[in-house]
Structure formats: structure tokens, C-alpha cells
Chain A
């Protein structure tokens, strides 16, 4: 079955770059996602990447996809205290239709001022 793995915790200093890593098992995944959960809130989509891409950049966020190794990463440049949250990696084997997304456990990012 599908499985998405992430480390539980990451601590960085304000202004540094953060890199959150994820591995997944379903090679048929069409889209891979990063969601952010702030305290007391639900998950919010940050960005996603289509499986035929290997990189996507969106302002301070860079997503790298290594499809051969089934490895996804999220880099946050110039990390700010407002970036402190839990970051979820997710994969979806479908294209269209309702979502049968598999989420990871979430990586808690702590930004030290």
C-alpha cells in the first residue's frame, strides 16, 4: 500500500534555509503535495508538483522531486518565525476525481529567532 514518510521535527534559525524531506512508495503518484498546518488550524495547501517535473519554485518555496528515488523535498528560503508549523507531504495516484491522498506524519518546523 501507499506510505509516506517524514521526519518528525526540524529546528532552524530565523533567516536560514529549511529543508523538509519526504519519501513515498507509490511510483504511480501523479501529484505530490505540501500542506502546512499552523497551530489550531486545519491543513492549507502550500504547493504541489506534477510527477513529470523535477523542480518547482514559488517565491521562497522550492520543491524538488526525485522520482527515481521517490524523494520529495521542500526548501524554504530565509525562514521566518511565521513559518513555524507542521508540514505534511502527500501523494495522490489519481488524476482528477475525488482525492485519495495519502499523507505523511507531518514535520514540525521550529524557527528560532
Chain B
């Protein structure tokens, strides 16, 4: 399998549930990202892992907890979410280079609905 794969594609959860989103990339990239896509809002960068270290955390509430166990896998653990957290969560990866454009490869996203 190639590219960036996200599971599950759809998730419905209650506000007291704990769930996780999973992302896997088969591209040999060394950076992985979580983005949040909400209607009529720009794509929001949530977390960045570069070489398995978290390098970016854009003031995301602690109810979202990322985990990057290795360079191919990225998780987003969800706990006591709010209805306004309902969105499409996109995972992406890229290959760091010394110069030049670094292109993001996105997964298809996990559509989250919080009841």
C-alpha cells in the first residue's frame, strides 16, 4: 500500500468517550502532521512531528493528544471532546530537505462527529 492512510474514515463519539485516530504513511517521509478542517475556516495546523519529535503544537486543547511511535505512524488520541470539535481531521506527511519545496501528502481524512 502506498500514500497516507487514515483510519477510521468516520467516527461518531460522545463527549465522555475516548477514541483514537490513526495515520500511517508508506512514503518514507520523516515529518508528519495533523490538520483540522472545519467548514468555512482555513485549514488549521494542530501538530507537527519531525523525525519523531513534536516540533509544533499550535495551542491545541489538551483533550487532543498526539503520539508518534515511529516515523511511519501518527495517532491523535481524543478525550472528552466538545461538539465544536466535530470536523475533518487530516493527516499529512512530507520529506524534510535542506532546500526546495516540501510537498505535503495528505490522507483522505477522518470525519469526526461529537454528540
Query: Quick check: is B61 within 8 A (CB to CB) of the other chain?
Result: no
Chain B residue with minimal CB distance to A50? B101
Size band of the interface chain A makes with B: 20 to 34
> Is B76 in contact with chain A by the CB < 8 A criterion?
no
| B14 nearest CB across to chain A (Å) | 25
A103 close to B43 (CB less than 8 A): yes
- Chain A residues with CB under 8 Å of B107's CB are 42
Chain B nearest Cβ from A21, distance in angstroms: 16
In the docked arrangement, what's the CA distance between A67 and B42, Å? 22
Q: B40-59: which have CB < 8 Å to A?
A: 40-43, 45, 48, 50, 55-56
Chain B residue contacts of A97, Cβ below 8 A: 50, 96-97, 102
- Interface set of A (CB-CB < 8 Å, partner B): 4, 8, 31, 33, 35, 40-45, 48, 50, 88, 92, 94-106
Task: Give chain B's interface residues, CB within 8 Å of chain A.
Answer: 4, 6, 31, 33, 40-43, 45, 48, 50, 55-56, 90, 92, 94, 96-109
Between A and B, 23 residue pairs with Cβ closer than 8 Å are A4-B42, A35-B104, A40-B108, A41-B108, A41-B109, A42-B90, A42-B108, A43-B43, A43-B92, A45-B104, A48-B103, A96-B99, A97-B50, A97-B102, A98-B48, A98-B50, A98-B102, A99-B31, A99-B33, A99-B104, A101-B104, A103-B43, A104-B42
